[in-house]
Every structure is written in structure tokens, then in C-alpha cells.
A and B are shown apart, each in its own frame.
Chain A
């Protein structure tokens, strides 16, 4: 009886529909062998993780900017919880509030890739359309490091695959094989203390991957925009996203929108 149950469970894991359903409805990885169909109400990320990135065991984290309705519902729930907490609640700015009615922050899972291209893993994720921020990097779905000192945003349109390019993650203290991370790596022992600092970067897509499964599907490269520094204390480390040519630069710590040349103000 137990063997039959185990076999049934193992068979269930092989079904494409089950492979998506296990992630939950909001952020779904297409596994190897999955049939790919694009729903008109969903957006799709295509992400490349080079071997060096995968080896760090950190995985990229993305935030979908809340819709007006989601934000309103959150604010209403927070105000209600704060009122319920009474006179001991303190100012609402300091009010610690757990909210589970919606989710908009997700971590890629390195084992749930669609295919490999050379030593790179390719991920295809089904998610909600919207504006996204490259928020940081996680470990086992805990936020490890935020891109709090500057990052990028991009739009993910419904019914289309947005190719984010390659996510570059490596240790900041030693040299890296990623030329894009030249300013943010080889920083020596100061970035290799009790918790090593990571360097995180992007290599925007320049060509569609050669996967046969994607040949007939609409794939467009993400259009990145610079985002100013933000606060995120619920993690261990904070750093900047490495400069992205033509998109994100820095001038003595100030975040520069390289599309306009202007300084992007911090968000706190």
C-alpha cells in the first residue's frame, strides 16, 4: 500500500500541470519537459543563471510592485491591526504587521530550471503581469542580501516572455569570471568576514536562447530602468546591483539613470 502511494506521488511529480501547481499560483517554474503554453493573463520571465551564479547557492529575488488595489487592501489591513492593538501599539510607522493576503516577493529556485544551454541553466517562470524590481538574492527562500543601494526595474507584459538576460551572482571578495562585476568583486578580505558579501549583477539579453521550445513563442528583452536606494532590513546584507551599461550607474554612491543622466533619488 505504501509503495503504491509512493509510486503515485512520483508519477504525479512528472505531470507538467503538477510541476506548475506545486509552486503555488503566483510564481511558477516550468520544469524540464513541461509543455509551454502562454496564458493571456500571465507574464513570463526567461532567466539565465550561469554556472558561477548557481554555485553560490543564492538565487535572484524579484518584487512585483503592488497594484493600487493591493496597496489599498494592505494599508486598510495594517490600519485595522494597528487600531486593534490599542494604546500599546506605538506609532504605526513602527508597527510590526504580518500580511498574508497577497504576495509580491519571490525567489527563483535553482533546481527548477527548464533546460540547460551549455553550463547555463534557463528558467521560465509564469507570474502576474506588472512592474518588477530586481530586489536581491535569497537562500532557501530567505532573503539573504538586498540590492538596497541601487537596482533596476522592468515591465513584464501579459501573454509575453520577458527575457531578463543572465543574473550574475558571485562572492565580492575574490575575482570573478563576470566582467560586468569588475568594480564589485576582487575586493579582498574586507568583504570576506563572518558573512561573505556577494556581488550581484545583470547581463541583459542580446539574443534569444536557442531552445526549440521557445522558437515559436514571443520573447522580448527586458527594458531595464534604474531604481534608487531603498530600505529592506529583513535580510543579512545590503549592497548595490552592479552597474548595467546604458541603464544603471553610480557616482560617489548616487544612483544614476544612464538613460537620462540624472540622479535617481533614494526611496527613504
Chain B
């Protein structure tokens, strides 16, 4: 028996040989991230300057995740540097003594981004996130305070950023758009 003029056994060998070496099954798809229902049952939302989610029409999950993760780095802050001081500009090893936080966390990376913080810290963080995200074309949509905490505060900052990126790249939230 032949296939395309080639004996079938030989054809199978051809397919199994070089192609087999290149082929690897794709990884199983990640389970879809469940987006909570952002709409408040009673129609009442938190302070729109503090409790909102970012959304950008047409954004991909990957682009939204990259934007949120990069901006989250700028929300990490601690005790202010007293000058004059020395900064090893080339080393990118800047740290800051933690202030007001509770729990254990690392100073490098995103751990502080997700800590449970008081209202002063929250407003600082939101101003920095807005300074970073709004010029990238993101809009804001109101959520309730408990919903905001569910999306932004917890032990797994990477998972929270995935959730925020999913929201940012999903259909437009059905909550009021923040314009102030």
C-alpha cells in the first residue's frame, strides 16, 4: 500500500521521524479565571476615587497583565529616603523600610501590592496606579468596597493581577464609569 507514491510504512516512518522530534503536545489550557459579578445588588458603590477597576476596550489579557504588573511595581513604597544618600543606579536594588504593613512579605516583587492596607495607603496606591494606567488608555469603573478588596487584596498577588487583567480585558463592566 502506498501513500503519495511512498510505501505506507515508509511514510509513517517519515512522519514519526523528524516531525516527531519537533512535536510536543500543547500545555493544557489554564482554567478560565472566574470574574465576579461587579454589579452591586443595591446599586450603591464605594467612593469612586478609591474603589474602581481598570478596563480598556480591545486590550488583550497579556497586554493588560503587563500594564497592571508594571504599574503595581510603582505602588510599592516605604520609609522615605533621607538625603543626601547613595543610590546604586545601575543595580536596581532599591528597597524601602516597610511601614504600617502587617504580615510577612517580600520587599522585592509584588507582595506589598496585595497587602491589606488602611485608607491612607489605599489612596496613595490608587493615585500612583491612576498616574500609571490612565495614560495607557484605561478607563475606570466603580465597584463596591468589599468587591474591590476581593479583587485587590490577598495572599497571592500574581493571581490577583491575573484577575484584574481579566476584568480589564473582558467586556465592558456593567457598573458606572468613573469620570472624575
Q: Interface on A for B, CB 8 Å cutoff? A: 24, 26-27, 61, 63, 65-66, 70-71, 74-75, 78, 93-96, 99-107, 133, 135, 138, 141-144, 148-149, 172, 188-191, 193-195, 197, 229-240, 250, 252-253, 266-268
Complex-state Cα separation, A252 to B133, whole angstroms: 9
- Give the Cβ gap from A184 to chain B, nearest Cβ, in Å: 9
What are 25 A-to-B residue pairs whose CB atoms are below 8 Å? Answer: A75-B88, A94-B107, A95-B95, A103-B85, A103-B86, A105-B85, A105-B87, A107-B83, A107-B84, A141-B84, A144-B80, A149-B131, A193-B126, A194-B120, A195-B127, A231-B92, A231-B94, A232-B87, A232-B94, A234-B77, A234-B94, A235-B81, A252-B135, A253-B135, A267-B92
Q: Which of B67, B83, B131 contacts A238 (CB 8 A)?
A: B131
Q: Which of B's residues lie within 8 Å of A, judged by CB?
A: 49-50, 67, 70, 73-97, 106-108, 119-120, 123-124, 126-128, 130-133, 135-137, 180
Distance in Å from the Cβ of A74 to the closest Cβ of chain B?
A: 5
Contacts of A95 in B (CB 8 A): 95
Main secondary structure of the interface of A (DSSP, over half): loop
Closest approach, in angstroms, between the C-beta of A264 and any C-beta of chain B? 14
B128 touches A238 (CB 8 A): yes
Taking a contact as CB atoms under 8 Å apart, the answer to whether B123 and A102 are in contact is: no
Verify B82–A148 contact, CB threshold 8 A.
Answer: no
B108 and A93 contacting across the interface, CB-CB below 8 Å: yes
Q: Given the complex of chains A and B, what is the CA–CA distance between A96 and B81 in angstroms? A: 13
- A96, B124: Cβ atoms closer than 8 Å: no
Distance in Å from the Cβ of B89 to the closest Cβ of chain A? 5
Q: Which residues of B contact A102 (CB under 8 A)?
A: 86
Q: Are B91 and A190 in contact (CB under 8 A)?
A: no
**A267–B92 CA distance with the chains assembled, in angstroms:** 7
Given A194-B119, A233-B77, is A96 in contact with B84 using a C-beta cutoff of 8 Å? no
Q: Are B123 and A195 in contact (CB under 8 A)?
A: yes
CB-based nearest B residue for A62: B83
Residue of B nearest to A172 (CB): B131
Decide if B108 touches A94 in the complex (CB within 8 Å). yes
